[in-house]
């Protein structure tokens, strides 16, 4: 039996079909622009999100950072939510690579507060940095999806002040699935967007940046500067095409399994889940009132072929994905109950 891996949706292995298309992919040298499979993926991806052009990059972090580098000049200020990935989980890259200053706004699970956004736009004073970019994130790392209304409000203000908007849409298709909208209904409220092929969509490696042709042309140069000019990248683009064409539909199932997992966990004494917060494939819960800690639970699970992460400030996160079935969800919950019984005796 293989492991049930609830640590993230980044752990998803490529499907058999993906392995086949990798083997058979037609490739060229993408730095010369003549890898036909990369070109096909970039065209398909751009259309899918309603933008003129798109570019394959090695990771979501890379996509966000090349976007910041392309939108901004050194010393510019970037406005973004205080809990977003670019702020917390990208190793300070915006400062290190692009020399920009990040200025955080309070956010409600990814939704920016409009009055605060307006108050933090910079004026003309000679002392001030220029506001070079506004970033949003959907789905947010809290597992929640900002409303289209909030995204429109942010975008309208940005346009009024001539400031570009970048959306970190690592889980963009999860967001569209939750909102039951076409993904273009989301991306109409940004100038550029990054999304991951390598999370719930199961591709092994890669993310996409999309925007205007002019933007993507400049971004290609910055991608090269950052060491992201890949050669026979068609081997990554081929499973990427499968991800976008065939795997989006499956996200519904992942969301359903997350809901089920949340509901079953809620029945365990001492475990607190807020069911309304389960919008995509992530289940957050609090187990402080059980007698066991996350390390002990993790060790117990591991011996029973389940991988989980430890808690973050007392909050646990389980993530469902293509390789987690309804049966697995039931097994996880049964094993959780066993763990409580077994570990409480000490
Ligand atoms: C996963 C993720 C990224 C990018 O992650 P990589 O591991 O660099 O591909 C960016 N933003 C958010 C919100 C994410 O969840």
For ligand 1, the distance from its centroid to the CA atom of residue 170, given in whole angstroms, is 5
* pLDDT value at residue 284: 97
- Write phi, then psi, for 55 (nearest 5 degrees): -145, 135
pTM over 0.85: yes
Q: Is 144 in the pocket of ligand 1 (CB under 6 A)?
A: no
Q: Angle at the Cα of 227 (from 221 to 229), degrees rounded to 5?
A: 60
| String of DSSP letters for 5-43 | E-S-STTPPPPHHHHHHHHH-----TTTT--HHHHHHHH
- Here the tokens at position 151 are 């995204």
* pLDDT value at residue 101: 98
- What atom of ligand 1 comes closest to residue 137's alpha carbon? 13
Q: Is 111 in the pocket of ligand 1 (CB under 6 A)?
A: no
Per-residue pLDDT of the chain in tens (346 residues, 90 and over written 9)? 699 999 999 999 999 999 999 999 999 999 999 999 999 999 999 999 999 999 999 999 999 999 999 999 999 999 999 999 999 999 999 999 999 999 999 999 999 999 999 999 998 999 999 999 999 999 999 999 999 999 999 999 999 999 999 999 999 999 999 999 999 999 999 999 999 999 999 999 999 999 999 999 999 999 999 999 999 999 999 999 999 999 999 999 999 999 999 999 999 999 999 999 999 999 999 998 888 889 999 999 999 999 999 999 889 999 999 999 999 999 999 999 999 999 875 5
Q: Is 137 in the pocket of ligand 1 (CB under 6 A)?
A: yes
142 vs 183: CA distance, rounded Å: 20
* pLDDT value at residue 320: 98
* pLDDT value at residue 1: 62
Host H or E run for residue 196: strand 192-196
Taking alpha carbons only, the member of 324, 183, 139, 312 closest to residue 250 is 324
Q: Is 141 in the pocket of ligand 1 (CB under 6 A)?
A: yes
Runs of H (alpha helix) within the chain = 16-24, 36-48, 60-71, 85-88, 93-98, 114-120, 148-160, 172-179, 183-187, 213-225, 234-246, 251-266, 294-303, 326-344
* pLDDT value at residue 345: 57
9 contacts 143 by C-beta, under 8 angstroms: no
- Here the tokens at position 73 are 């000049």
For ligand 1, the distance from its centroid to the CA atom of residue 74, given in whole angstroms, is 23
- What atom of ligand 1 comes closest to residue 59's alpha carbon? 9
- What atom of ligand 1 comes closest to residue 90's alpha carbon? 8
* pLDDT value at residue 230: 97
- Tokens 């966990």 belong to 265
Give, for ligand 1, the residue of 90, 196, 228, 281 to mutate: max count of ligand atoms closer than 8 Å to Cβ: 196
């Amino acid at each position: 039996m293989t492991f049930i891996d609830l640590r993230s949706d980044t752990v998803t292995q490529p499907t058999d079909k993906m392995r086949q298309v990798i083997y058979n992919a037609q490739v060229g040298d993408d730095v010369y622009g003549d890898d036909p499979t990369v070109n096909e993926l970039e065209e398909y991806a751009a259309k899918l999100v309603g933008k003129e052009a798109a570019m394959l990059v090695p990771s979501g972090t890379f996509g966000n950072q090349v976007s910041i580098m392309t939108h901004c000049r050194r010393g510019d200020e970037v406005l973004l939510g205080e809990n977003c990935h670019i702020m917390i989980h990208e190793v300070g890259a915006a400062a290190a690579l692009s020399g920009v200053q990040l200025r955080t706004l309070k956010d409600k699970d990814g939704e920016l507060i409009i009055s605060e956004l307006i108050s933090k736009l910079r004026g003309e004073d000679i002392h001030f940095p220029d506001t070079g970019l506004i970033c949003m994130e959907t789905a947010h790392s809290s597992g929640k999806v900002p409303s289209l209304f909030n995204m429109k409000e942010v975008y309208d203000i940005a346009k009024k002040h001539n400031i570009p908007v970048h959306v970190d849409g690592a889980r963009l298709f999860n967001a569209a699935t939750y909102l039951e909208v076409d993904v273009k209904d989301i991306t109409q409220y940004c100038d550029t967007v990054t999304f991951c092929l390598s999370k719930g969509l199961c591709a092994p490696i890669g993310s996409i940046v999309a925007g205007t042709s002019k933007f993507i042309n400049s971004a290609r140069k910055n991608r090269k500067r950052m060491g992201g000019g890949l050669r026979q990248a068609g081997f990554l683009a081929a499973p990427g095409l499968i991800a976008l064409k065939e795997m989006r539909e499956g996200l519904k199932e992942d969301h359903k399994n997350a809901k089920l997992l949340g509901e079953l966990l809620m029945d365990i004494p001492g475990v607190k889940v807020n069911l309304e917060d389960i919008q995509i494939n992530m289940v957050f819960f609090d187990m402080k009132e059980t007698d066991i800690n996350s390390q002990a639970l993790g060790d117990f699970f591991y011996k029973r072929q389940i991988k989980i992460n430890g808690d973050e400030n007392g909050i646990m996160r389980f993530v469902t994905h293509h390789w987690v079935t309804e049966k697995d969800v039931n097994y996880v919950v049964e094993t959780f109950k066993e763990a409580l019984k077994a570990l409480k005796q000490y």
